[in-house]
């Protein structure tokens, strides 16, 4: 046995643990720094993880992994082409119309129309809300700031000496030249802003095309290498703890796969149901709002934000119509809320039992905290990693840490977290 003074630093267990933790954190930071590469890789890994049971089933029928991966890549191309041809123009059109309504001030005017059906005490709050939106900042009420005496005084003609008339004409000419210079500068700035916007759009298109190439590229090879990666990982597990480690990894896989294959698919289907339902009852921007609400429903309770927004948009759309064409006042409130409640009922009674079953054993608190923490620390990259990491850490705490702590509190062991049980 090597004496302590002749040991290397990495032979000391405590230093080795610190280096292991530092290495894991460094890998996370490196992945965040290279998010343009790692995010497509994580998405491709997620999709490969999702379709692995299908690939295994095809393999039992004699279909090779390379052929199965090629089929899925082809299916991905067909879905992307269909999305670009059918759904994307609708969503982009509604999004652009929403942005145009906000920027042109139409949304502000719609909000102010609600003033006619609200009590007087709610009017100041509504006006403050309207001021947050782009629109006219000068109203007719500003004319009341001028008193009648001032208006008559302004309206009365005045005579002025010739010298003062010359000075006034010179000032007006100089002001006109200054205004022309300002207009030229504004024109140059507008042209520069237009070029910058066009460049940003071009970069966004290039980034989207890059993603559409990288995701199927990574996916193809991840499907091919999936068994080898699992075998390589199994070789890294020490033989003494292999059975216990495999049992823990199996439990982690059940929980993560239950969430990924279940919750995400359920949220996507909910987004489609929200979109179609709100479109049928006349909610503006139904497909944009519906898919966004479905995505938010991945995190428990957060999807509920879509209901009041749908009701508000439906009320504003009702006020846009002539009074003889308006439906009953309660319909823009009840119908969007009924659609939301119906989709929630379908989720709880049909989609979750049918798709996710009981495998999704992540409680709402764990999901909410994990997603918020991951997003706050590492943005979208952190949100992709948050739930799998939280699920694995929770299982480690429940299966290893808590039993040892209970044994320590009972006095059965001397150390709650020993490095080696034999010491």
The token pair at 145 is 């700031």
Domain-embedded: residue 297: no
Query: Is a pLDDT exceeding 80 seen at residue 314?
Result: yes
Contact 31, 38 (CB under 8 A): yes
The DSSP result for 114-125, as a single string, is GGGGS-GGGHHH
Contact 129, 312 (CB under 8 A): no
Contact 385, 42 (CB under 8 A): yes
Domain-embedded: residue 402: yes
- Can you give the pLDDT at residue 177? 61
How many domains is the chain partitioned into structurally?
1
- To the nearest whole number, what is the mean pLDDT of the chain? 75
CA dihedral 9, 11, 12, 13 (to 10 degrees): 130
367 by Cβ neighbours in 10 Å (0-12 / 13-18 / 19+) ranks as: buried
Domain residue limits at 382:
362-415
- Can you give the pLDDT at residue 179? 57
Domain-embedded: residue 380: yes
Block residue for tokens 């759904």: 87
Domain-embedded: residue 41: no
d(CA 414, CA 409): 9
Contact 400, 293 (CB under 8 A): no
pLDDT per residue as tens digits for the range 158-214:
555 666 666 667 666 666 666 556 656 665 666 666 667 667 767 777 777 777 788
Domain-embedded: residue 253: no
Query: Is a pLDDT exceeding 90 seen at residue 341?
Result: yes
Contact 10, 188 (CB under 8 A): no
- Can you give the pLDDT at residue 273? 93
Contact 378, 280 (CB under 8 A): no
Contact 265, 232 (CB under 8 A): no
Domain-embedded: residue 404: yes
Per-residue pLDDT, averaged over 21-48, amounts to: 83
Which residue, 257, 270, 278, 274, is CA-closest to 298?
270
- Residue 214 CA: distances (Å) to CA of 42, 47, 73, 338, 389: 11, 13, 11, 41, 24
| Proportion of the chain above pLDDT 90, given as a percent | 5
How much helix, strand and coil, in percent to the nearest 5, is found in the chain?
85, 0, 15
Q: What angle do CA 260, 262, 300 make, to 5 degrees?
A: 85
Q: Pick the residue with more confidence: 383 or 272? A: 272
Domain-embedded: residue 336: no
Of 116-130, 195-209, 303-317, 325-339, give the range with the top mean pLDDT. Answer: 303-317
Domain-embedded: residue 383: yes
Q: What pTM was computed for the model?
A: 0.53
Which of these ranges, 15-29, 87-101, 202-216, 326-340, has the smallest mean pLDDT?
87-101
Contact 381, 31 (CB under 8 A): yes
Is the CA virtual torsion 135, 141, 147, 148 positive or negative?
A: positive
Alpha helices in 147-241 (DSSP H): 148-155, 162-235
Contact 371, 301 (CB under 8 A): no
Query: Is a pLDDT exceeding 90 seen at residue 372?
Result: no
Quick one: residue 379, left, alpha or beta (phi over 0 = left, psi -120 to 50 = alpha)?
left
Q: What angle do CA 108, 316, 310 make, to 5 degrees?
A: 110
Q: What angle do CA 290, 293, 297 make, to 5 degrees?
A: 140
Q: What angle do CA 370, 373, 374 make, to 5 degrees?
A: 80
Contact 241, 381 (CB under 8 A): no
Query: Is a pLDDT exceeding 50 seen at residue 151?
Result: no
């Amino acid at each position: 046995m090597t004496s302590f003074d002749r040991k290397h630093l990495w032979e000391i267990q405590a230093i080795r643990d610190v280096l292991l933790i530092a290495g894991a954190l460094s890998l996370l930071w490196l992945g965040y720094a290279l998010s343009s590469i790692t995010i497509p890789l994580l998405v491709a890994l997620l999709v490969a993880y999702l379709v692995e049971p299908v690939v295994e089933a095809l393999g039992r029928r004699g279909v090779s992994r390379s052929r199965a991966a090629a089929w899925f890549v082809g299916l991905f191309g067909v879905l992307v082409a269909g999305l670009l041809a059918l759904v994307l123009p609708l969503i982009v059109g509604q999004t652009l119309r929403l942005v145009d309504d906000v920027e042109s001030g139409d949304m502000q005017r719609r909000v102010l129309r609600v003033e006619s059906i609200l009590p007087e005490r709610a009017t100041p709050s509504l006006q403050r809300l309207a001021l947050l939106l782009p629109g006219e900042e000068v109203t007719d009420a500003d004319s009341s700031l001028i008193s009648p005496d001032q208006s008559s005084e302004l309206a009365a003609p005045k005579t002025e000496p010739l010298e003062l008339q010359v000075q006034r004409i010179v000032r007006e000419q100089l002001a006109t030249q200054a205004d022309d210079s300002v207009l030229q500068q504004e024109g140059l700035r507008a042209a520069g802003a237009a070029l910058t916007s066009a460049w940003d759009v071009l970069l966004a298109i290039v980034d989207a095309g890059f993603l559409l190439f990288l995701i199927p590229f990574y996916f193809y090879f991840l499907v091919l290498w999936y068994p080898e990666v699992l075998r390589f990982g199994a070789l890294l597990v020490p033989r003494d703890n292999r059975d216990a480690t495999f049992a823990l990894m199996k439990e982690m896989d059940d929980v993560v796969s239950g969430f990924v294959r279940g919750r995400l698919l359920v949220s996507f289907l909910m987004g489609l149901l929200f979109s179609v339902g709100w479109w049928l009852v006349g909610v503006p921007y139904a497909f944009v709002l519906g898919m966004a609400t479905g995505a938010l429903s991945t995190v428990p309770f957060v999807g509920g934000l879509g209901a009041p927004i749908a009701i508000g948009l439906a009320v504003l759309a009702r006020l846009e119509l002539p009074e003889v064409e308006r439906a009953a006042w309660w319909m823009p409130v009840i119908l969007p809320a009924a659609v939301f409640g119906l989709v929630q009922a379908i989720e709880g009674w049909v989609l979750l039992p049918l798709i996710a079953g009981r495998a999704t054993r992540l409680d709402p608190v764990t999901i909410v905290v994990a997603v918020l923490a991951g997003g706050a620390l590492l943005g979208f990259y952190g949100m992709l990693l948050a739930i799998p990491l939280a699920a694995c850490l929770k299982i480690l705490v429940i299966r290893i840490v808590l039993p040892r702590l209970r044994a320590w509190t009972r006095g059965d062991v001397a150390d709650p977290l020993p490095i080696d049980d034999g010491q």
